[in-house]
Structure 1
Amino acid sequence: MNPLLEKFNTKYTSSPFEEIKEEHYLPAFQELVKTSEKEIDEITNNSEEPTFENTIEAMAFSGEQLDRVSNIFFNINSAETNDEIQKIAQEVSPLLTEFSSKISQNEKLFERIKNVYDQKNALTLNEEQEMLLNETYKGFVRSGALLNEEDKKKLEKINMDLSIKSLQFGQNALASTNAYFKHITNKDELKGIPEAILQQYEEDAKEKDLEGYVITLQYPSYLPAMTYAENRELRKELALANGKKSFDGGEFDNQNLIKEIVKLRQEKAELLGYKNYADFVLEERMAQSPAKVFEFLNELLEKATPYAQKEIEELKSLAKADGIEDIQSYDHTFYAEKLRKQKFDIDDEELKPYFQLEKVQEAVFGLAGKLFGLEFKEITDVQKYHQDVKTYEITENGNYKALLYADYHPRKGKRAGAWMTSYKNQYKQDGENSRPHISVVCNFTKPTKDTPSLLTFQEVTTLFHEFGHALHGVLADTQYPNLSGTSVKWDFVELPSQFLENYCYEPEFLKTFAKHYQTGEILPTEKIEKLSQSKSFMEGYQTLRQLGFGLLDMAYHTEVGALENKTVKAFEVEKTAATNLYPSNPETAASPSFSHIFQGGYSAGYYSYKWAEVLDADAFQYFKENGIFNPDIAAKYKVLLSSGGTKNPMELYKNFRGREPKVESLLKRAFG
C-alpha cells in the first residue's frame, strides 16, 4: 500500500511522514499525474457551455492530492534530503513539468477559459472570483496558450530543461557546501571564538570521528568563526572556501549552468513576446517593469553609498590599530562586531544566554496572540519527518486554525538558510474552511549536553522573519487554494516577514522575553536600549550588499547577450562594481551559489527584499505612531494578511494604511 495514494487518515489530514518510504514517491507521482490529467480531461470535455463554476473554479480545485504530495516531496528534498531523494527529484521534476505543459498547452481547455474570460463583464463575479478568472487566463497566456504548435513544443522543451538545470544548480550548491570542513586540533588557532561555539565545533568533530574541532560552511558554524576568530588566516581560508562554492571547476561547479539557465530564460521570454526575462517576470509584480526596478535600486544606491563608505572608513581605522593596512571582505564581520561592541557595548555571545530558542519562540507565539488572537499548543500526535521537528496546533477563539511544523537545527540533509513553506494550502469548499499546514525551517545551533540552543540576535530576527511568512499562511481566509496565504505578487510576499522583525528592536516587547536561560534575569535596560539603537548599525553596508545582489540579478535577466562573451566572475564584478566596498578576490564568486535566483523563485525578483523593506518600514511606522500593539491597526493588518492574493497588493496596502507606501519611511528608519 502506498500512503501517498490513500486519503490521509491522520489528525487534521496531516502528512503521514512516518509511513512514507522513498520508493513510494515515484509511483505516487506517476499515478497522481494520471488522476489529475483525468480531472482536467473532464473539465475540458464537459459537454455543457463553459461557465466560471465548471471551468475556472473546477480547475482551481483540481489536482489537490498531487499538490499535497509535491509539497511533501519537495519540502523533504530541502529539509531532509539524501542521494536517493535527489535522484528521485531528477525524475519527478521533468514529469511535473511535462504535466504542467500539457495543461497550459491544452487548446480545448484554453478555449473554454477564454470563452469565460471574454464574457467576464456580463458575469456577476465577486472580487475574488474575478481575480481567479484573470489570473487563470493570464497564467495560460504566459504559459504559451497563444503560441503556434511549433513554438509550444519549443516552450515545453525550454521549461523541461529549466526545471532540470535549476534542480541541478541547487544540488551542486548543497553538495559544495557539504564537501568542505576545516579540521583544527590546536585550540590556539581558535582564539577569540567563544567557548559555547567551541563546544559546538567539538561536537561536529565527534560526528566525523575526529579529535579537536570542525568548522563547516553551514551558517551557524561559519558565521561565528568569521565574527570572532582573531586568526586572520583562518578567516581568510574559510571565506575563500565559502566564496568558492560551486566555483572551483570541480564536479559541483555551477558556472556553465548559470549561462545555460539565463539563456533558456531569455529564449522563453522572447518566445512569449517579451524583450527579456525581467520584462516577462515583472509584468506580474508590483514594480511592473525593469526600468522601475533599476530606478528604485539606483535611488537607494545613491542615498546609501555615503553612509556605507563612512561605515567602512570606521572599520579601516579599527583594522589599522591592529596593523592591517589592507582590510579585506573576510575582515568585515570581525571588525563590524568589534565596532558594534565599541559603539553599543553589544556582544552577540554575551547576549545569547538571554535568547534561548524556546523563549524566543514563546515570544513570537505570544506576539501572534496579542496582535491576532492566536494560541499555540505543542502536540505529539502528528507525524514528523525528523525527530528534531516539533508540531503545534494553532487555534483562534478555541477553533482550530492551522498546523505548524517547527524545524530549527542544521543537519547533513538540510539546505542552508531559513525558510517558511506550506504542506497544505487553505481553501473553502462545500461549506468547509480547510485549514493550512505551515512549516518554519531554520538552521540554529543545536543544544549541547550542557547548554540549550541559544540564538544570536540576528537569529532572533530570522525566526521572527520566517514566522511573519508563517502568519501569512496561518491567517489565510480565501476561497481558492491558488490565491491563499503567500500566493501574492512576489515583491509583496516579504512584507509580512520583514514587518515582524521590527518587534525585535522594541524595548517594551524585548523586556517580555530577553531573559537569561540560567538565572531568569531580564536583559539589562541599557543593553535593551543599545540593541534598539543598533537597528541601523551597518545599514549602509547591508543596503549596498542587498542592492548588489538585486542589480546582479537584474543584469542576468536583462543583459544575457553581455554574459555570453564573459566569464561569470567578470560579469558579476562589472555589474556589482558600484556596490562593492572591498576588493574582489579572483578565486571567489557569489553567483555560483546564488540559489535564490537560479534555483528559488527570485529570478528578476531579488530587488523585492528592498521593495518590501519600504512597505514594512511604512507599515510599522503606522503602528509606532499609534502603539505597537494597537488592536484597531492590528485588525486592519490581519485583513491584509488573510486576503492573500485576492486583491491587487497596492489596493490591499492602501486599505490598511490609507495611502500608498513612502520610500522616506525606509530612509528615515535606516539613516535617521
Structure 2
Amino acid sequence: MKKNLILALLAGMALTSCNKGGGDSENPFFSEYETPFGVPAFDKIKTEHYLPAFKEGIKQQQAEIASIVKNTEAPTFENTILAMENSGGLLDRVSGVFLNITESNSTDTIQAIADSVAPLLSKNNDDIYLNAELFQKVKVINDQKAQLSLNQEQKMLLDKIYKNFVRGGANLDSSKQARFREVNGKLALLELQFSKNQLKENDGFKLVIDNKDDLIGLPESIIMAAAEQAKADKMDGKWVFTLSKPSLIPFITYSQKRELREKIYMAYANRANNKNDYNNNPVIAKILPLTLEKAQLLGFSSFAHFMLDNTMAKTPENVYNLLNQIWTPAIKKANEEVADMQQMIAKEGGKFKLASWDWWYYSEKVRKEKYALDEEMLRPYFKLENVREGIFYMAKKLYGLTFEGNKTLPKYDPSAVSFEVKDSTGNLLAILYMDYFPRPSKRGGAWCTNFRNEKIVDGKRIAPVVSIVTNFTKPVGDQPALLNYDEVSTLFHEFGHALHAMQTKVTYGSLSGTSVARDFVELPSQISENWASEPEMLQVYAKHYKTGEVIPAELIEKMKKSGTFNQGFVTTEYLAASYLDLGLYADTMLAGFDAQKFEKTTMDKLGLIPEILPRYRSTYFGHIFGGGYATGYYSYIWAEVLDADAFNAFKETGNIFDKKTATSFLQNVLEKGGTEEAMDLYKAFRGKEPNIDPLLIRRGLK
C-alpha cells in the first residue's frame, strides 16, 4: 500500500470534513457532489478544475485556522482541536480526487499541476504547524489533558495533532523555522521529480520482437497479450513486452531466450539509472541531505530516527533487530535454492553461472521438477471475476458483508467497476471502486486508497469511498483475465486494506481506517492473504474458466507442498530493499553521496549474493522517495510477524471463518482505526504480544 507526495503531506493535515464552499458554479469541487452516495463527480471534473480548487481550498482553510487563532475564549478541545479537525473541507475534497488521479490516470498536464500544487501544499502545511499562536492553544490543551474529561478517541486526536505540531517544527526558533519551511518546499518538488522520472522510465522501454522464433517457451496467452500491445503501439505483426509486471514476469519466467531475458530484466533493474533526463541519482543525492537536515533541526540524529519515532518499532535498532533475525536463515535458504538451479543448468548442459535474470526461469523449472507444479497450470483456475467473488465470499463469511455492483456511479476511468458494500444488517457500509489493468497513465504496482474517509458528522456515519488499483494480466481475445497466483495474493492483500478502510467506525476522519502506524497498517492486508491459499477458500473461487471445474484436490495439495518454495529468494530480495531503505535514511555521512556506491557497499556488507538484487533499487524505490514509506519498507515484514501470529488465532479454532475470532478482529482492529496505540489494539485481539516463530515457520525458514 503506497502513498504519493501529496498524500504524505496531507497525512499531517487535519483535512477531514466536507463543508459547502462558494465560488465557480462550474467547478464540481466548490459544492457537495450531487451524485449517488456523494461519490466524486468524475463525469463533471475536468483537468482545469483542480488548480483553482486547490488555491481556494487552501484559502478557505487558512481563514478557518485564522478564526481559531483569533478566538478570544480560553482554548478547549472543541474550539481548537475539533475546529482544526473540521477545517479544510474543500481542500480535502479536491485532494482526495487529485492524489488518486496522479497515480492512476496521470497526464503531462496533471503532472504539471502537481508541480504547481506541491509547494502550495507544503507551504499550507507549514503555515499551520509553524503557527506559534495556534500551537500555544494546542499546547495549553495538551498540558491540561489529564484534567479534561476526554474519551479515548479524543485523547488520540489531541495527541496526534500535538505531535504533528512538534514534528512540524513548532518548537523551533524563527530562523530555524524559516529554514525548515525551505527544506520542506525543496523536498516536495524533488520527491515529485523522482516520481515523474520513474513513471517516464517505466513507460519508456519496450522489448519489440519481430521474429516468432524468439517467442519460444512463452505461453500462448502471453504471446497474444504481446501482440495486442504491439497493435496498440501501431506495430502490427510484432510482439511488444513492457516493464509492467504482467508482461515482464511471464517473459523472464518462460522465455527460452536467455539474452532477451537479460535485456528486459536489466532494463527493469536499471530504471531511472540511465544517462538521460530521467536519472534519479542526482535527485536522491539532493533529497537525502535535506531529510537529514530536517531531522536534525527537530533534534533527531538521523531521518530514520525521526520517522521511526512515530511507529511501533520506535528506533532503527529495533528494526535492524527484526531484520537480522530473519536475514540469516533467509540467505541460507536462498543459497540452497541457487544450488538447485545451478544443478538444473548443468543437467541441461549449460556452461554458465546462474544470474539474476535467470532466477524466475530456472526456479520455475525446479518447481516443476520437484512438485510437478507449473504456475501456468494454476492460471486457468484464477479467472479475475471468480477471484473477486472469492474475496467477497471471504468478507461475507467473516463479517457478513455483501457487495452489489453499481454501473450507474461516475468513474474516473471507463475500465473501473464499482460496488455498494452493505453490512450484515443491510445498511450501506462503503462504496468500493476496483481498477484492474495496466495503462500508460497508471503507475506500476498495486494499492488501496480512499476518495473519502469514514467519519461521523452530527451523529451520522459518512460512508467511505474506497479504491483498489492493480496492474493485472489483461483479457486477451475471447479469453478472460486469468491471474497468476501472485496476482491472486495481491488482490486479497489490497482487499484487506479495503476492509480496514470500509469497516472503521470512528468519529474523526483523520483517525479512521488505515490512519495508523505504518508498521501496523499492513496487518489487515497481510492477514487477508492467508485465506487465498486455504483449501476451503480455493474450492469456492478457483474454478476453471472454461469448464467451471473446481480446482482439483491434487493441485491444491501440490500448492500446499510447494508453499515454502523459493522463499529464500522472496524473503532475501525483500529484506535487502528494507536494509537499503533504512541505511539510506540512517546515514549521516552524505557529502558527495553516490546512491550506486552506497547500494553496493550495503549489499556487500550484508552478504547479498549476486544472483539476487534488492526488490527495489534506489532509483526506482518509489515507496521511500515520495511514497510515504521512507524508512518504512520494513513494515511489511513487521506486520507479517503480526499477521502470521494473528491468523494462528483462527487456525487454533479449527475454523478459518470462526465467527468469534473474526468478530474480535473486527471490533479490536478493523473498526478502531487509529483511535488506540497499535500494540494495545493487537493485544486486545490476541491476548498477548506477537511471536516471530509463526512467520519463520510459514516461510520455511525454521
- Tell me how far apart the structure 2 counterparts of residues 407 and 649 of structure 1 sit (CA, whole Å): 30
Q: 175, 184, 193: which is aligned to 1:168? A: 193
- Tell me how far apart the structure 2 counterparts of residues 584 and 383 of structure 1 sit (CA, whole Å): 44
Match of 1:346 in 2: 373
- Tell me how far apart the structure 2 counterparts of residues 530 and 625 of structure 1 sit (CA, whole Å): 24
Kept in 2, the 8 Å contact 1:202–1:214? The answer is: yes
Q: Unaligned stretches of 5+ in structure 1?
A: none
Alignment of 1:543-558 (within 5 A): 543-558=571-586
- Tell me how far apart the structure 2 counterparts of residues 125 and 19 of structure 1 sit (CA, whole Å): 42
- Counterpart check, 1:539 vs 2:564: no
- Tell me how far apart the structure 2 counterparts of residues 429 and 129 of structure 1 sit (CA, whole Å): 15
Q: Could you tell me how far 1:477 is from its partner in structure 2?
A: 0.6
The DSSP-based 3-state class of the residue aligned with 1:576 is: helix
Match of 2:273 in 1: 247
- Counterpart check, 1:238 vs 2:264: yes
- 1:98-133 deviation per Cα after TM superposition (whole angstroms, max 9, x unaligned): 111100011111111001111101101111111111
Match of 2:435 in 1: 407
Alignment of 1:14-29 (within 5 A): 14-29=39-54
Judging changes above 3 Å, is the alpha-carbon distance between structure 1 residues 583 and 542 closer, same or farther for their aligned structure 2 residues? closer
- 1:553-575 deviation per Cα after TM superposition (whole angstroms, max 9, x unaligned): 111011141x5345311110111
Q: Unaligned stretches of 5+ in structure 2?
A: 1-25
Q: 397, 400, 414: which is aligned to 1:387? A: 414
Q: Could you tell me how far 1:599 is from its partner in structure 2?
A: 2.0
Q: Could you tell me how far 1:580 is from its partner in structure 2?
A: 2.1
Q: Could you tell me how far 1:549 is from its partner in structure 2?
A: 0.6
Judging changes above 3 Å, is the alpha-carbon distance between structure 1 residues 294 and 585 closer, same or farther for their aligned structure 2 residues? closer
Match of 1:213 in 2: 239
Judging changes above 3 Å, is the alpha-carbon distance between structure 1 residues 227 and 584 closer, same or farther for their aligned structure 2 residues? closer
Match of 1:36 in 2: 61
- Counterpart check, 1:590 vs 2:614: no
Match of 1:619 in 2: 646
TM-score, structure 2 as length reference: 0.94
Q: Could you tell me how far 1:529 is from its partner in structure 2?
A: 1.5
- Tell me how far apart the structure 1 counterparts of residues 248 and 337 of structure 2 sit (CA, whole Å): 23
Q: Could you tell me how far 1:305 is from its partner in structure 2?
A: 2.2
Q: Could you tell me how far 1:595 is from its partner in structure 2?
A: 0.6
Match of 2:95 in 1: 70
The DSSP-based 3-state class of the residue aligned with 1:596 is: coil
Kept in 2, the 8 Å contact 1:418–1:466? The answer is: yes
Amino acid at match of 1:48: E
Q: Could you tell me how far 1:357 is from its partner in structure 2?
A: 0.3
- Tell me how far apart the structure 2 counterparts of residues 616 and 585 of structure 1 sit (CA, whole Å): 26
Kept in 1, the 8 Å contact 2:359–2:611? The answer is: no
The DSSP-based 3-state class of the residue aligned with 2:296 is: helix
Alignment of 1:259-298 (within 5 A): 259-298=285-324
The DSSP-based 3-state class of the residue aligned with 1:17 is: coil
Judging changes above 3 Å, is the alpha-carbon distance between structure 1 residues 602 and 443 closer, same or farther for their aligned structure 2 residues? same
Q: 537, 540, 544: which is aligned to 1:516? A: 544
- Tell me how far apart the structure 2 counterparts of residues 68 and 374 of structure 1 sit (CA, whole Å): 27
- Tell me how far apart the structure 2 counterparts of residues 478 and 443 of structure 1 sit (CA, whole Å): 32
- 1:289-330 deviation per Cα after TM superposition (whole angstroms, max 9, x unaligned): 011111111111123222221112111111222314311000
- Counterpart check, 1:426 vs 2:415: no
Match of 2:699 in 1: 670
- Tell me how far apart the structure 2 counterparts of residues 455 and 416 of structure 1 sit (CA, whole Å): 16
Match of 2:499 in 1: 471
Q: 58, 82, 88: which is aligned to 2:83? A: 58
Kept in 2, the 8 Å contact 1:573–1:584? The answer is: no
Kept in 2, the 8 Å contact 1:235–1:330? The answer is: yes
Q: 132, 143, 151: which is aligned to 2:168? A: 143
Q: Could you tell me how far 1:47 is from its partner in structure 2?
A: 1.8
The DSSP-based 3-state class of the residue aligned with 1:439 is: strand
Match of 2:632 in 1: 605
Match of 1:374 in 2: 401
Amino acid at match of 1:52: F
- RMSD of aligned residue pairs (Cα, Å): 1.4
Match of 2:17 in 1: none
Q: 651, 654, 678: which is aligned to 1:649? A: 678
Kept in 1, the 8 Å contact 2:577–2:616? The answer is: no
The DSSP-based 3-state class of the residue aligned with 2:418 is: strand
- Tell me how far apart the structure 2 counterparts of residues 384 and 64 of structure 1 sit (CA, whole Å): 22
Q: Could you tell me how far 1:372 is from its partner in structure 2?
A: 0.8
Kept in 1, the 8 Å contact 2:57–2:89? The answer is: no
Judging changes above 3 Å, is the alpha-carbon distance between structure 1 residues 448 and 427 closer, same or farther for their aligned structure 2 residues? same
Amino acid at match of 2:403: F
- Counterpart check, 1:203 vs 2:232: no
- Counterpart check, 1:365 vs 2:383: no
Kept in 2, the 8 Å contact 1:614–1:661? The answer is: yes
Q: Could you tell me how far 1:650 is from its partner in structure 2?
A: 0.4
The DSSP-based 3-state class of the residue aligned with 1:256 is: helix
- Tell me how far apart the structure 2 counterparts of residues 668 and 350 of structure 1 sit (CA, whole Å): 26
Kept in 2, the 8 Å contact 1:401–1:435? The answer is: yes
- Tell me how far apart the structure 1 counterparts of residues 351 and 446 of structure 2 sit (CA, whole Å): 34
- Counterpart check, 1:528 vs 2:553: no
The DSSP-based 3-state class of the residue aligned with 2:146 is: helix
- Tell me how far apart the structure 2 counterparts of residues 310 and 461 of structure 1 sit (CA, whole Å): 25
- 1:137-168 deviation per Cα after TM superposition (whole angstroms, max 9, x unaligned): 11100100000111111111111111111111
- 1:140-197 deviation per Cα after TM superposition (whole angstroms, max 9, x unaligned): 0010000011111111111111111111101100101101101111111011100001
334-343 or 456-465: which moved more? 334-343
Judging changes above 3 Å, is the alpha-carbon distance between structure 1 residues 457 and 35 closer, same or farther for their aligned structure 2 residues? same
Match of 1:3 in 2: 28
- 1:600-655 deviation per Cα after TM superposition (whole angstroms, max 9, x unaligned): 11111111111011001000111111121000000001111110100001000000
Kept in 2, the 8 Å contact 1:266–1:277? The answer is: yes
- 1:436-476 deviation per Cα after TM superposition (whole angstroms, max 9, x unaligned): 00000000122122101110011000000110111110011
Q: Could you tell me how far 1:229 is from its partner in structure 2?
A: 0.3
- Counterpart check, 1:301 vs 2:330: no
Amino acid at match of 1:654: K
Match of 1:109 in 2: 134
Match of 1:156 in 2: 181
Q: Could you tell me how far 1:348 is from its partner in structure 2?
A: 1.7
Q: 445, 451, 472: which is aligned to 1:417? A: 445
Kept in 2, the 8 Å contact 1:3–1:19? The answer is: yes
Kept in 2, the 8 Å contact 1:61–1:481? The answer is: no
- Counterpart check, 1:498 vs 2:523: no
- Tell me how far apart the structure 2 counterparts of residues 484 and 622 of structure 1 sit (CA, whole Å): 25
Q: Could you tell me how far 1:585 is from its partner in structure 2?
A: 9.1
Match of 1:321 in 2: 347
Amino acid at match of 2:244: Q
Amino acid at match of 1:650: M
The DSSP-based 3-state class of the residue aligned with 1:491 is: helix
Match of 2:688 in 1: 659
User: How many pairs are equivalent?
Assistant: 670
- 1:228-282 deviation per Cα after TM superposition (whole angstroms, max 9, x unaligned): 0010000011112112210012111000111111111000000000000011011
Kept in 2, the 8 Å contact 1:420–1:438? The answer is: yes
Amino acid at match of 1:234: L
- Tell me how far apart the structure 2 counterparts of residues 470 and 325 of structure 1 sit (CA, whole Å): 46
Match of 2:106 in 1: 81
The DSSP-based 3-state class of the residue aligned with 1:122 is: coil
Judging changes above 3 Å, is the alpha-carbon distance between structure 1 residues 584 and 548 closer, same or farther for their aligned structure 2 residues? closer
Amino acid at match of 2:210: T
- Tell me how far apart the structure 1 counterparts of residues 458 and 607 of structure 2 sit (CA, whole Å): 54
Structure 1 segments (4+ residues) deviating >6 Å: none
What's the % identity of the aligned pairs?
43
- 1:501-554 deviation per Cα after TM superposition (whole angstroms, max 9, x unaligned): 111111111111110011001111010121123222111221111110111111
